[in-house]
Amino acid sequence: MRWWRRNGEVALFVASTALLMVGAVGWLLGSTTTATLAWIMGAVVGLVVAVAQLAAAIRQGRFSVDVIAVLALAGALVVGEPFAGAMITVMLASGQLLEARADARARRELSLLVGRAPRTARRAVASGFEQVPVDEVAVGDHLLVGTGEIVAVDGRLITPGVFDESALTGEPLPVDRIAGDDVRSGVVNAGPPAELLTTASAADSTYAGVVRLVEQAQASSAPFVRVADRFAIVFVPLTLLVAGLAWLIGGDPVLAVAVLVVATPCPLLLAAPIAFMSGLSRAAAQGVIIKGGAALERLARGTVLLFDKTGTLTRGRPQVTDVVTAGEQWDPDEVLRLAACVDQVSPHVLASAIVTAGTRRGLTLTMPTDVVEEHGYGVRGRVGRQTVRLGKAAWVMGGSAPAWARQLRRRADLDGSLTVFIAVDDRPAGALVLQDELRPDAPRMIRQLRRAGIGRVVLITGDRADVADAVGRIVGVDSVLADRDPAGKLDIVEQESARAATIMVGDGINDAPALAAAGVGVALAARGSSASSEAADVVLTVDRIGVLGEAIGIARRSRRIALAAVLVGMGLSLIAMVVAAFGMLPPAAGAIAQEIIDLLAIGIALLAVLPGRPASPPLPAADIATAVALRAEHDAAKPVVEQIRAVADALSTHHPDLRPVHVLLDRLEADVIPHERADERLLVPLMDRALGMDAGAAISRTHAEIEHQVSRLRRLVDELAPDAPGPEDGVQPEDGVQPEDGVQPEDVVQPEDVVELRRLLYGLYAILRLHNVQEEESVFSLVPAGAPAGGPTAPRPAGMPAASSPDPGGSVPAAPAR
C-alpha cells in the first residue's frame, strides 16, 4: 500500500499505455481478439481507478468531474467500444501523473523544528551539575545554560545573561536580562553561562507550545478545491443532459457514450496541472520554491498580504550604520578599525557586523593580542601598542557618560538602534551605532504587489510599536500590529483568513504557526529557520524580498494560462459533444478527437513555461557594472553625509568655530559633488533605460538641489570672513568688540550667522539622506544579488571620476546618529 501511494500514478500510466499499445499492435497484425482483450483490460483498469476516485470525492463532499469518466468508461464497455475506453484510461492516467507531479506538496513535517529542541539540560546536584533528559526537569529545578546553548524550559534567571530571542520574537538584537527576569525556552544564550530556576516543565514551556501551534494550524488547514472540481459543478450536469437527450432522441445508447467520451474532462485534468507545473519551474528559476500546484494557485488568488518585520522587510541582522567619535581628535575610520580588529576573535553576536563594516570600508585589520571577553559587558584587547575596549557605556567609560554619549543613547533608543562604545588607552574614543536596516527593495515590492491585485498589506511583528510603525510607514502597509507573540500572530492570520485569501511572509520559528495557518505561507530560507521553511508553502531561497512580487506575478500568469487552456479545451469539447449527439462522431473517433483537443490545450498550457513581462526588467551586464561601481562611491560618501549633522550639532552660538565647517565643505566638494555628477551622467540614464523614460527625473532634480545647497553653504562661509578673529584668538561676539580695538563687529561670527549655518547644514543633511535612500530603492535594488559587492576594488565605468580619499587629519566631531 505504501509503495502504491508513492508510485501509483506512474504504475497506472505505464499499465494503461502498455495495454493500449498492445491492443494497437494486435489490431495492426489482424489479431482482433488480442486487441479487444487488451483494450477491455485497459478500460477496466481505468474504470476501477475512476470509481475509487469518485468514491473518495463523495466521502470528502466534493462534486467531481470523475463521474463523467466513470460513465464514459462504463458506457464504452457496455456498447462494445473497448478502444475508446482504453484511450480514456490513458488520458486519465496522464492527467493523474501530471497532477501528482505538479501538486505534490512537500510534507510539512516538524522533524527539523522538533530536532532543534534540546534533549537534555544541566541540572544542579550536590556535586555540581549533571546532564539529565529534558523530560525529567521539574518545576523549581536549578539549571545551567552554557554559552550558545538553547534554553530547554521556561525559567527565572538567578544570574544575569544575554539572550538571542529571535527564534521567538523575531528581534535580531540580543537582549540583556537581569537576575529575576523570566526567560523562555527556545531562546539562545548569547552571553556567559547563565543559571535559572525552572517555572514550567518541558511540555508546558514556550517552545513546546510553538510546536503544538504549528501542528494545530496544519491540522485546521482546509482542503484545496481543484480547478477541475470547480468546473465540474457546471460541466457535469451539462454533459449528462446532452448525453441523455442524445440517447432519448436518437434511441441509441452509443450516441450517449460518444458524448461522454468527447466530454471526458482531460483538458481540465491535463492542461491545468501542466500550466501550474510550468509556473513552478519558472518560479524555481527565480529562486522561489513553490510546494505544488495547489500552493501556486492559492498564491495567485491571495489578496491580503501579512508580513513579519525582522528578516523579511528588514535585513534580519544588525549592521553598523554610523561611527560617532568623542571629538575631532578621533578619526571615525580609525575608531572603527580598532573595534573591528578586537572583534575578529570575539564570539559576541554583534562582532561579525562590526568586522564586516570595517572590511567593507577597506580598512586594514590586524590580529589583536591579550583579548579578554567580559561576558555581559564587552571585550578588551591590544591592537599594536593601543589598548582597546568596546562594549557597554558604563564599562567602557566608567563613571557618568559625557553629553555626546547620553545624546547618542537617546537617539539610538528613539530609532530602535544598538550602541557599542569604544575606548582607546582608557580614553573614550567613540561609539558604533548598529541597526537592522530596511531592505531597499521592500517598498518597490509592496507597490508591485498592489498593482498586481493585493488589496491589503498588514505588518505583524513581535517588535516595539514605535519601531514597527516607522517601518510600516516607509514601506506603505495598511495596518501595523506590534508586540505580537507566535499565538498572537496566529490569531491575526486566522481573523484575516476568515475574510479573504491570505499570504503570510516570515522567516523565523516564531512565524511557523502563522505560516501554516495562512492560505499560503511564504518563508525566507536564505538565512531563515528550517521550521518556517517546513511550515511554509512557498520558500524564497534568495535573500531578496523582491522576488516575492515576481513569484506572485508568475503564479497569477500561470493561473490565467491554465484557465485559458481549460476554457479553450472545454469549449472544443462542448462542440464535439454536440457533433457526437447528432451521430457524426462515433466513440472511437471521438476518443481520437478528444486527444487532439487535449494536445491543443496542453500547447496553450505550456505557454506558462515562457517568461512573462517582468515587473522589474533585468539590467544588462554593462549597467550592472556601472551600478555596482556607483554603489561603491555611494557607500564611500555616507560617512561624509553623517558628518554634516555632526558639524551642525557641534556649532555653538557662544563659541563659534568655523574650522570644522571648512573641513566639511572641502570633503563635500571633493567627494560628494563629484559622485553626484557621476550619478547624473551615468545613473540617471541607466534608470531611464531600466524603468522607462524620465524615471530618473526626480533623482536628477535632487542632484541639482544638492549641488545648489553646497554652493550656498560655500558662499555663506566665505562671506563670514574665515580669517576674522575667532575663539582661538580670544575674541567672542559677546565681548562687545569696539572699532577702536581694531576689530569691526561685522568681522566676528554672530549668533544669527551660526543659526543660518545650522539651517543650511541640517537641510543639506536631510536632502542627502533622503536622496541616498531613493537611489538605493529605485535603482541599486535592481542589481542582482549575485553581483559583486561595491568596495574599493569595484570597477569604475569610463567617465566616472574617482572621489577623493577622506583626509584622516581633517576629521570633524561626529554627532549621534541613527
Active site residues: 308
> Strands (DSSP E) along 26-168, which ranges?
120-125, 128-133, 142-145, 155-157, 161-164
Contacts of 510 (CB under 8 A, 6+ apart): 167, 168, 169, 170, 210, 308, 462, 485, 486, 489
How many angstroms separate the CA atoms of 484 and 307, rounded?
12
CA atoms within 13 A on the CB side of 344: 19
Report the C-alpha gap between 155 and 138 in whole angstroms. 11
Q: Determine contact, residues 356/368, Cβ cutoff 8 Å.
A: no
The three three-digit cell numbers of residue 510, written as one number? 516564531
Torsion angles phi and psi, residue 374, rounded to 5: -95, 95
Q: Which of 800, 804, 441, 439 is nearest to 630 (CA)?
A: 800
Helix 253-262 and helix 547-581: axis angle, to 10°?
160
Nearest to 594 by CA among 16, 227, 250, 92: 92
**C-alpha count within 13 angstroms, C-beta hemisphere, residue 505:** 29
Residue type, 583: G
The SS3 assignment for 660 reads helix
Q: Where are the alpha helices (DSSP H) in 323-402?
A: 332-343, 351-360, 393-397
Type of residue numbered 571: G
- Can you point out the beta strands (E) in 207-348? 288-290, 304-307, 319-325
Reduced to 3 states (helix: H, G, I; strand: E, B; else coil), residue 9 is helix
Give the containing element (helix H, strand E) for 391. Answer: strand 386-391
CA distances from 538 to 451, 547, 555 (A): 21, 12, 11
Best CA proximity match to 274, nearest among 745, 599, 731: 599
β-strand 304-307 against 456-460: which pairing, if any?
Answer: parallel
Strand partners, 456: 304
Find all residues with CB under 8 Å of 817, minimum gap 6, and list them: 321, 322, 324, 411, 433, 642, 645, 646
* DSSP bridge pairs for 122: 131, 144
C-alpha 669/C-alpha 714 separation (Å) is 9
**First CA to last CA distance, the chain:** 62
**DSSP reduced 3-state for 498:** coil
SS3 assignment, position 427: strand
Of 469, 541, 455, residue with least CA distance to 502? 455
DSSP class of residue 136?
Answer: G
Rounded CA separation 373/539 (Å)? 38
Q: How far, CA to CA in Å, does 797 sit from each of 106, 120, 669, 695?
A: 46, 58, 21, 21
- Reference 306, options 458, 82, 527; nearest CA is 458
